[in-house]
Amino acid sequence: MKLSIVIVNYNVRYFLEQCLLSVKRAIAGIDAEVFVVDNASADGSEEMMQQKFPFVKIIANQINVGFSKANNQAIEKATGEYVLLLNPDTVVAEDTFEKCITFMDAHKDAGAVGVRMIDGKGNFLPESKRGLPTPSVAFYKTFGLAKLFPKAKTFGKYHLGFLNEHETNEVEILSGAFMLMRKSVLDKTGPLDESFFMYGEDIDLSYRIVKSGYKNFYFPTTTIIHYKGESTKKGSLNYVKVFYNAMLIFARKHFSGNQSGFFSLLINFAIVFRGLLTLLANYFASSYLFVLDALISFAGIYFIKTYWEDMIKYHEHYYPNEFLYVVVPTYIFIWIIAAFLSGSYDKPFRISNILRGILFGTVTIAVVYAFIPNEWRFSRAIILLGAAWTAFEMLFTRTVYHLIKHQSFSAESEEEKRSLIIGKNEAVRAESILRTLGNSQEIISNPDLISTKKTSAIHSNNEIVFCANDFTFKEIIHQISVCGNKIDYKILNEGSNALIGSNSKDSAGDLYVAEKSYALFKAQNLRTKRVFDFSMSLLMLPLLPLNIFLIKNFGKFISNWFDVFSGKKSWVGFSTEKNLKTFPNAKRGIIHPSEKLIEFNLSEAEIGEIELHYARYYSVGDDIRLLLKNYSLLGK
């Protein structure tokens, strides 16, 4: 056996499918075996492999044992002269393995080799080649000096930015996303250190290979795609903690004395420093518009209050402090929550969503206003003027946002998606999928792969879809590399209805076509459904004594109530395993859409079809009707 390929998968089914398709093509003519260690995925990965890739040797774990241990499970069974660690969110070229094996055969002093990697936008990934993270190198990276001076020999040692990305070089550290090693070297160094749950294990193994007297090489003669950000999200506090803790383990293992102490101190500081920066960045990214709306709304209402006191009431302190600092913030909070629930913060922004949200919030305030004591009823006029001002400021801020981002004064405008399909036999199918998604204003097709860049420039396309069944992955990777990072790239694979791609290295970019075309899985409906579940759960609390008699199996009802209240389940949702695995955003229901046809003896396939119909044409009214009709079944 020449080559053993080891892939560890965790809930990235669509990326894994594409990866295995590229691997299948790349091992043609090579005596190879492919292991996939599945760390208890719940997205149907195992079933997909059994159906589409029967040659894969599956190791199915019942729990997530971590990246290192999972790799070691397959390495122990590997019989190849070479062992390749490969991420599931990668795409390899047809000749990638052949070129790497040829290089290793010719360089007997090479213990491992890594390749040039690009992300889903065609950007070179600097972690393709790295230096040893000594205390000084780690310091430069932690405090941003490596990012400011990436090509400097002093500051750029972490990613070796001073080395040409297109030249073969000896390096110290390779990426575990693609790391091809001699099995004999692994037998000498030992497998991955299972002290590293995730991150750092490739650094540790690379360093042990060097310490054993072998060389690691960066080999850019072949390029692969590494989407990144799919198995883990780098913008999270958890990533910061896990990554830097891995560095801490590495320091304690390989450095000693003062060097280890300084490194440990630096890493602990980095965890706090980076964690704080991440927390602030995440907070700003997710909340800045809410905060901006609240501040501008408050400022406007303060002006309205002052004007009302001076020009209408002729009394400088007509409204007490409680009105300005308690009542007004409460009004603003209700308006913003109502606007959020109506979709006012979803992109693209919609004027109708803003107006509907403010109207709903104003009605809510008016209802509450009618029931509160007289001493807290300050001014209906300011409620109405405040609502008008808040609606205006929301429209204004969105207009400014679009003016800056899209050079358009329309608050509802967004950059038009102009899609170019590169395909022959699969072009019609690709176009059908894009039209189902409904987010492309213009779709053109071109069977000539070589002219992709020219065609895209002529038609000003900002999205390119490659049909993998019509071209080689090597050709597709090359076109992504040369066409530039201003374009979004997607790949349609044979036998799949998912367009796979990533518009950012830090977030998932795959398009689940089925999910995108179902009303239930649109952001606003998912939010509405969660509000429905939460509200119904609260309404059921006063009815608990009555529910003892209304609901069969009251004890189970209490358990179901907690599951729905916490968001684990929905009062109305799916029941079939196939649909639950197909749609990541779907929740298991206490009652199901098929309950309306309970008198029929339905097969699981028929139940699944009913659930799909429910999802495609979903409205909250469906949930209300199903809940009321099957209320007695909430304890099943």
Residues 340 and 240 in one domain: yes
How far is Cα 468 from Cα 500, in angstroms, rounded to an integer? 11
Residues 181 and 96 in one domain: yes
Alpha helices in 489-603 (DSSP H): 513-516, 523-540, 544-550, 554-565, 577-582
Residue 575, domain extent: 519-633
Contact 372, 327 (CB under 8 A): no
User: Please, which pLDDT band fits residue 133 given cuts at 50, 70 and 90?
Assistant: confident
Residue 151 lies in a domain: no
How far is Cα 583 from Cα 234, in angstroms, rounded to an integer? 23
Contact 440, 419 (CB under 8 A): yes
Nearest-Å Rg of the Cα atoms of the chain is 29
Residues 431 and 381 in one domain: no
Average the pLDDT over 426-454 and give the result. Answer: 86
How far is Cα 590 from Cα 634, in angstroms, rounded to an integer? 6
Residues 218 and 239 in one domain: no
Residue 146 lies in a domain: no
Which pLDDT value is given to residue 342? 83
Q: What is the domain-level CATH number for residue 213? A: 3.90.550.10
By C-alpha distance, which of 153, 150, 138 is closest to 200? 138
Domain final position from 390, 414, 438: 414
pTM recorded for the entire structure: 0.73
> Looking at residue 124, what DSSP letter applies?
B
Residue 138 lies in a domain: no
Please report, in angstroms and rounded to a whole number, the separation of the first and last CA atoms in the chain. 54
Residues 197 and 281 in one domain: no
Q: How many CB atoms lie within 10 A of CB 455?
A: 18
Beta strands at 215-226 and 169-171: parallel, antiparallel or unpaired: antiparallel
Contact 37, 8 (CB under 8 A): yes
Share of the chain above pLDDT 70, in %: 83
Q: How many domains does the chain have?
A: 4
Residues 398 and 495 in one domain: no
User: Please, which pLDDT band fits residue 171 given cuts at 50, 70 and 90?
Assistant: very high
Burial 518-538 (b: 16+ CB within 10 A, else e): bebbbebbebbbeebbeebbe
Q: Is 487's pLDDT higher than 70?
A: yes
- In degrees, rounded to 5, the angle at the alpha carbon of residue 343 between the alpha carbons of residues 340 and 344 is 70
By C-alpha distance, which of 612, 609, 604, 580 is closest to 11? 580
Residue 280 lies in a domain: yes
Beta strands at 488-492 and 463-467: parallel, antiparallel or unpaired: parallel
Contact 585, 618 (CB under 8 A): no
How far is Cα 477 from Cα 472, in angstroms, rounded to an integer? 9
How far is Cα 351 from Cα 339, in angstroms, rounded to an integer? 11
Residues 215 and 243 in one domain: no
Q: Coil, strand, or helix at residue 414?
A: coil
Q: How many CB atoms lie within 10 A of CB 57?
A: 16
Residues 324 and 423 in one domain: no
Q: What share of the chain is helix, strand, coil (3-state, %, to 5)?
A: 55, 15, 35
Domain final position from 414, 430, 463: 414
pLDDT digits (tens, 9 = 90+) for 368-426: 887 777 777 778 888 999 999 999 999 998 888 777 766 655 555 556 788 999 999 99
Domain final position from 362, 385, 414: 414
**HEC profile of 420-474:** EEECCCCHHHHHHHHHHHCCCCEEEEECCCCCHHHHHHHHCCCEEEEECCCCCHH
How far is Cα 583 from Cα 43, in angstroms, rounded to an integer? 8
> Looking at residue 146, what DSSP letter applies?
H
pLDDT digits (tens, 9 = 90+) for 42-82: 778 899 999 999 999 999 999 988 888 999 999 999 999 99
Residues 298 and 407 in one domain: yes
